[in-house]
Chain A
Amino acid sequence: MVPPRPALSFDHLGFVIAVLIGIALFAAPFATYRATRIASGEARLVIEALPFSMAAALALVALGVALGAVLARDPLGRLGSAVIGLAVLLPSLGLSAGYLTPADNNFARVSPSLGFWLLSLSFSLLAVDALARMRLGPFGRLAALAVGASALALLLLSGIWDDLSILKEYDTRADSFWREARQHLLLAFGSLAAACLFGIPLGVASHRLRTLRTAVMQSLSIVQTVPSIALFGLLMAPLGAVAASVPLAAALGIRGIGAAPAFFALFLYALLPIVANTVAGLNQVPAAVVDAARGMGMSARQRLLGVEMPLALPVILAGIRIVLVQNLGLATVAALIGGGGFGAFVFQGIGQTAIDLVLLGALPTVALSFGASVVLDALVDLSKGTTPA
């Protein structure tokens, strides 16, 4: 459909990105300076937010990326220029924070502003577009994710961002940050594991028995329509009653308030995608293949484990991907009922109108969901590759 493109020509997407870069550089504040963490902010343009030489270097690199985005067609070249742009932009944010904060002032806060976000958005758009055009295989995507994650880890560990407001929030809460992180992962992955243990056998049974399937699917779809905070709240009552009457349950940490109702709610939400995808995966196994396996003298158990499940695996993994991304997001709400997780920072931040605290909770959640979806997408592709279609 698309005619072959010359190496150098006008690119519409590149034009949009170049306009964004222009706005970000000249018309939008790069960073926000606040005298205290909840004071209102003062905007600083690129030229005010960085020493002159750094500001000029950043502007030159950004203009270079803009020019490349408009003129260069080769995805590799575009990816390269986007990466160079990000490599200059991200450290310069940290430098700007150090530059704007007066010496020995622990109350002042510097946070990224619209200009920074627009610049990182335009560089990332360019990179994402180039990666999409390169049509990387599963290993390529995993490698790209690993490179991105290591670059981020390097930035955080090098201390170059330490003057930024969000890392100052982190500094005062380093202990609770990792405790909530562990809790978040425990909620999301624990309920996923429980849902797989319970949901995959239920899916296999529903695949065999039509009556069971209808009943299971309908009740699980109704569970999905109950809003998350209501389901969390509703489970507090029965679990509280269990804890009060069964000492063993209380000793195991089951309480009306806290992680138990959140865990159980996430488990219930996770069941529908797991069961539905198990059924769908088994349904699409060709009847001829199952017949052939029967003809080879395989028992029902051998057919299920050796033939049907491996063929259904990509679809089941796709269900697990949906659940994991959904759980990582929903686990944020658990904080409302005392279940912990990154949501604790989000809701504290909303309560104190402290944007940095909100971001301290929201950004790791987004990063985790994004990473999880890339990894599981790659796994889905790999599992398709290894099973004969």
Chain B
Amino acid sequence: MRLSALLLMALLTAGIPPAWGTAGQVVPDAFSPTLQPVDLLPVPKQVQWGDGVFAVTSGTRIVVSDQATAEDLFAARELNEELRARYRTELDVVRERQVADPAGHIVIGEPTSNAMLGRLLEQAGISVTAASPGPEGYVLRVTRGQITIAGSDRRGTFYGVQTLRQLLGPAPAAAGPQPGIVASVRVVTIRDRPDHAVRAVHLLLDGSSGEFHSALIDRILAPYKFNTLIVEAEDVQWESGRSLWSPDPRGATKAQVQKLLEVARQHHIQVIPLIPTLGHSEWVFAGLRDEALCAQVAYIPKHLREEGKPQMTCDRARGVYPDVYDPERTITINGTPTTLNEALILPILKEAIDLFRPAYVHLGHDEVRGPSGLRYDMDLYLRDIVTLSRFLRSSEVRPMVWGDVLWERRTEAAAEPLFRELPRDLVIVPWKYEDIREYPELSYFRRAGFPVLGATWYRLHNNYWFSRAAKAANALGMVRTTWTGHFQSQAALTRAYQQLYTYLSAAAYFWTSDRPEPDRAPREAELARRFAEAWNAGTRPAAPIPGTLLNLSSAATQRHIDDDGAGWLGKGADYDLRALHSGRQRFGGVLFEVLDPRRHDGKSIVMLRGERDVAAAMPQRVTIPWRGRAACLVFLHAALDRAVNFGDVIGRYTITLEGERRETIDLRYGRDISSWLWDAERGIASIEQEVAWSGSTRAGNDVQLQMLRWTNPSPQTSIQSIELTSSGGRASPVVFAITALDRCP
């Protein structure tokens, strides 16, 4: 038994209440798993909760139709993966003929092909047909005796399973020890279907796509019921046009794309390639073998070219290129006159069709502007859409374009004869990323005869209002765009995490456009937590872990409450952290002791030196003389301001172990620590950042503290001291509490 546990036992045996020692307080539950309430996302259309639970035991089977295909079995596998990750268990998957009695089992499929399922639904008086709940719809019924998932179609069954994954909980503790129970599901009946037929995420393919995007599909996108990917594919290692152009070697290989396509197919996700043409055609210029050709194909208004002012910067080394090309300008390749469309664009489109076998190809065509803000010829713009659309039609593929140019220049466009020649199966995708209530372009394009998809970004209200407007306009669906920069897909996890965890709120509104109301929607910290939990798919210990709540009173330099303009930020009670209660607080399962400044000589936190006025007189380093063993140290902390650069090291914690060995933790801004104020620019920038507590100032600012977990590489060696050091910038670190754990959770 560990020393801390012995000490606690001794205290309790003696009938003495645990006292706050000079070094710290030993507690038996320094970490204790916290149960998150079930909060289904997307919100299903109809939910009727009942009493009791269905107990998942080792004897529970997943029952599929006798005719179940690999596709059907995949849904069962997904359920098993969830059980394996969270509860270290896996259920047998059997066919209905192998089960005499469905009691105690999970029966999944479509009633048309699963007779047992049909009987169960009939007994319950529930009707599930192709028309009801409808395409991609399902009924999930959980009773104490069994679970049934009935899809209107295969996708519906798949989404029913995804909902069940969210409902899985631990075995109920109140029921007492029940051997064999591995998990439980609360009794409920859910009838559900999506509001939008297309629920897409837009991604940029790169060299990490095979692994990273496949994991994204498996852990996040499919479980949250997205069914389409629109992938920017210009950097795929295309073989076309190699006589004049070559792709960026950082792009995805065809093998990686194939893997992505296979994973997407398994998860009922269609993949639409996006080849940005005209607008954002940097990839074209960057890949041209001859820089002289770059200047030749750059779009210059005709009269300027005639005036002899064609010079445009084409600088591969600096990544500086013209804005847009001229698809029809004659160029000479290997002595043969041609155009960029003929020599490069059309062959790549053909190759993309062969690789993706898509129903649609997105042609880009957004933000098409001439050099220095000159207008791009509308006639040329429309003609290019018509030309490329005809080419796609020859392969029975439908075209798609962004909608900004056709909306912003609608009067000009509609006046052009070519506007009438635009194919009416052209899907127009207007994008708006601000929190806007009205989206008049949807009805404008619908009236003009085009199908539309609304495109959003990460903002909550943008997704809520746009999705509702799209539903009202009878749009094809919605697209959540991702703008993390080229070749940055995987890096987004640790640099642009906000763009990823907000997929969850987009998923919610794309499925059920009017719920949850934005003021009831999960906050970003909660979305970030849910994303990280799904991404890491790890298990958490079920039992409490003992540890020590370190006593910071002798090291405290400032207080987090500011009644007199001398505490916290020095800006008075409206801008302090009084919302953080003093005393014991449990965040993310870890127990912390936040000092009460009234009982500790007006001090409660360790504020270190920084550029902000209030921190200028603080010490640059503070040593906490705690001695003891710990497998993990958990710091509750925040920075006093924002660092200039993401990733700046704003300070360090140095742990001295017995024998003068030192372990150093660099505090990288945005990853290990962040400002106490919600970052209005980046949100939670890294999946590594764990928001422990969030609240508001009296003035109304959203504020937060983060938690940094450090794993001791030598848990058997005693810690002698912990030194906290600031780098002295605006973003100086402030420590609120430290907890030492006997084991790492």
A and B associate = no
